Amino acid sequence: NEACLQLVFQALLVFLTIIETQWSSVSGMYCADMASTVYRPHSVTITEFGAVGDGVTLNTKAFQNAIFYLNSFADKGGAQLFVPAGRWLTGGFSLISHLTLSLDKDAVIIGSPHSSDWPVIDPLPSYGRGRELPGGRHQSLIFGSHLTDVIITGANGTIDGQGAIWWDWFYNNTLNYTRPHLVELMYSTNVVISNLTFKNSPFWNIHPVYCSQVIVEHITILAPLNSPNTDGINPDSSTNVCISHCYVRNGDDVVVIKSGWDEYGISFAQPSSNISISNITGETGGGAGIAIGSEMSGGISEVRAEGIRIVNSLHGIRIKTAPGRGGYVRNVYIADVSMHNVSMAIRINGNYGEHPDNNYDKNALPIISNITIENVVGVDVGVAGILEGIEGDNFSSICISNVSLSVRSRHPWNCSLIQGYSNSVTPESCEQLRTDCEETSICYDGGSSLAVGSRASIHNKPSANILLNSLLQLVSL
């Protein structure tokens, strides 16, 4: 019954919480020498520049003027712009280097409901056009390009994009340009986004693109489960990114890694790599807890995700690509995942998504290899997995181990055009994965190279299978 399932799932969460993970040294390497807070010797408050926090007065000029003034302190230790309690309506504005934007716990930065207050900028070179429409795209509410040492933080203050009107324009096909994100930073280094709540983004929430050394931590992201494309955190053609301790409830992917779109991403050739994701809780109406792609044409590698909890969602783990994407997804390690009421636990799709134009190369096939998923538990799961490669382009070295799922479907696995290995998978994995991980040393273990250590990790946790089997037997009662 429902109460029994809830108790079982709570037990699974406790079990995953106490599993001793190995990710910390890796993530520390990815985001070495970064501090989540920096002392700023100069500070101003937005009200000093005429801002009014009544939720009605448009404060775009106040934000722009304050940041222009603070630019004079960039070479003097940097500066802080403080946003006190209030409701601060604004259009899009741009940050500068060596700046902390800090929100009071009762501060709410509100995006204007008028599209004219969101400037239109050029498309990303790795996308070739706006993601939704040809041509330009609306600038994010908080934007920056070619910056270093930028912190966006607060005592859990709020950034609210008032996205409902944008979602209506999307559904009614009345958009003139691609919808804006809440935060987008381009070509920037040493970025921290922390201790904030993001609400009702018109499009994606947090989008670091062409960035390096990025920390996103202690973030809450909220949007209706049926809101279109309200992705949570989207590192895109970025390196050394650490995402941790976040709660996301939205309409699309919770965390999704990207790297450009078809021929534009191939030409731009800037991959996403060294991505650490940990301690994420998510609920999504139309996406996945952890996703890769489908825009992955610049390549994605060295991804490590652990401590992931997904509830009431469409997909748990998903890799999306298609002929024409080119690029690669390799060296991905996802472990210590719990799911409850998820329609499909694992999805790898080789024929997903549209193309930017008709100039893409149909023969540009993606390389998907060295994907390890282990230590996964799930209760009330619809389907264990659908794993589909591409004709003439089998996805290889897909390794699944220590996976125990309570599945509703009589046909829990459906696999085609893939090759890989499995060990201790319940229900039994598809035939293409029946070779035992114990017999091979090519399963990626989450380090910097292929390692036989993956075999040891499977057998160093005998208590995992004992507990999982006991809990799953309880579910069947």
310-to-8, 227, 315, 427 alpha-carbon distances in Å: 15, 18, 9, 19
Report the Cα–Cα distance between both ends of the chain, in Å, rounded: 9
State the pairing for strand pair 189-199/79-83.
unpaired
160 catalytic residue (yes or no): no
Rounded Cα distance between 64 and 427, Å, is: 57
- Alpha helix (H) ranges present in 293-354? none
- For the record, the structure tokens of 179 come out as 């919808």
Rounded Cα distance between 60 and 51, Å, is: 9
- Radius of gyration of the chain from Cα atoms? 22
CA dihedral of 307, 313, 314, 320, whole degrees rounded to 10: -30
Rounded Cα distance between 53 and 40, Å, is: 24
Rounded Cα distance between 235 and 379, Å, is: 30
Q: Which one of the listed residues 160, 252, 336, 380 is annotated catalytic?
A: 252
Sign of CA dihedral 353, 205, 127, 385: negative
Nearest Cα to Cα of residue 229 among 279, 307, 295, 303: 295
Nearest Cα to Cα of residue 307 among 18, 76, 87: 18
- For the record, the structure tokens of 120 come out as 């239109």
Q: How far is CA 230 from the centre of its chain?
A: 11
Give the burial string for 133-156 (b: 16+ CB within 10 Å, else e). Answer: eeebbbbbbbbbeebebbbbbbeb
Residues in the chain: 477
Mapping DSSP onto H, E and C, the string for 438-452 reads HHCCCCCCCCCCCCC
Which residues are annotated as catalytic?
252
